[in-house]
Amino acid sequence: MKFQQLTHTIQQVQEQIQLQVSKTINQGLTLRNWLVGYFIVEYEQNGDDRATYGTQLLQKLARSIDAKGFSASDLSRYRQFYQIYPQILGTLPQEFMTILTSSPIFGALPQISSRHKSAVNPDLLNNLSFSHFAELIKIDNDLQREFYEKEAIKGAWSTRELKRQIGSLYYDRSIMSKDKSALSQQTQEKIKPQSRQEALKDYYVFEFLDLADKHTVTEQDLETALLDHIQELILELGEGFCFEARQKRLLIGDEYYFVDLVFYHRILKCHVLIELKVEPFNHGHMGQLNTYLNYYNDQIKTEDDHPAIGLLLVTDQNETLVNYALAGMEESLFVKNYKLKLPDEAAIKAAIQKYLKK
């Protein structure tokens, strides 16, 4: 055996094991969430004390479980997943069937309608992660949902690509197209299939494996280095800053978002959110930051806090923009005070430019 053959063989083994691990983890996660949804629906229909909890069931259940991936919003999503995909029962491995049949607190297994029986498709679990299903259950139309299922499987789409195609009304364009096969071929040819590495970076997978939040977002080397530098810079230049979080995860609606850096300013008594974009400015950056600020002001700010402040840093290799966003601030005295207490924009810009030159 030649050295090149040895290298190639080891690489093949690595790729095959990664593929199998990815599929196993994603299937386990998907089946767990389906089972959780099933148990919730069964309890809502047959639980002896279900009336005691009523509409607050999911909130109380989330507090009682107190674990990653089991917030009230997550539990609601799992319930919806089961309700839309009851046919997954027909693909459950024997060990999962044992879990269902051995539980003394639930009755008979659910009956699958004839319509859903015909939709039993083992390729769903073999090729789609729960992140895919989380996007698919947002679609009310069964035919439309099945269309995106088949196209996503055929093209090995990532979740991001599935969202993009749904947003571009691919289904509607397909209906209007005379040559649907040609449209499908053209669409699939433009798409880069999801890699194993992308599949394993799924934030649902990280929750499932109980890994730290900081691992759920992979940054480019330059961006990571800049965030390290900016974190130290803010603490050095800004009196009163207390570091709170890096890649702070926010659940807004039914999607997760991540704030690059979050500080609390003990003098101004407000949160300061920092977003870094290693690219030229566009209006979407400001819209994203304002969304985070509005969320903080509505969900996290206490009565004693002032509204959150946002700091947007947009940079390419030639120019740096530093822009403060004031979300819902009406107190002129506070605005004047914040300008005195926060780091000077010119100082931040100069420090970033100096770091980029290195």
- Domain spans of the chain, in order of start: 3-204, 215-357
Tokens for 217, please give them.
Answer: 């977002």
DSSP 321: E
pLDDT of residue 82: 92
Q: How far apart are CA 327 and CA 297, in angstroms?
A: 8
Question: 215-357 — its CATH code?
Answer: 3.40.1350.10
Residues of the chain scoring pLDDT < 70: 47-48, 50-54, 93-121, 193-223, 316-319, 327-340, 356-358
3-state secondary structure of 127: helix
pLDDT of residue 218: 44
The overall average pLDDT reported for the chain is: 78
pLDDT of residue 216: 46
pLDDT of residue 217: 44
pLDDT of residue 106: 54
Residue written as token pair 């880069």: 192
Contact partners, residue 306, CB within 8 Å, separation at least 6: 268, 269, 270, 329, 331, 334
Tokens for 237, please give them.
Answer: 């230049």
Contact partners, residue 139, CB within 8 Å, separation at least 6: 145, 148, 166
pLDDT digits (tens, 9 = 90+) for 275-287: 888 777 777 888 8
pLDDT digits (tens, 9 = 90+) for 32-73: 899 899 889 888 887 667 666 667 888 889 889 888 788 888
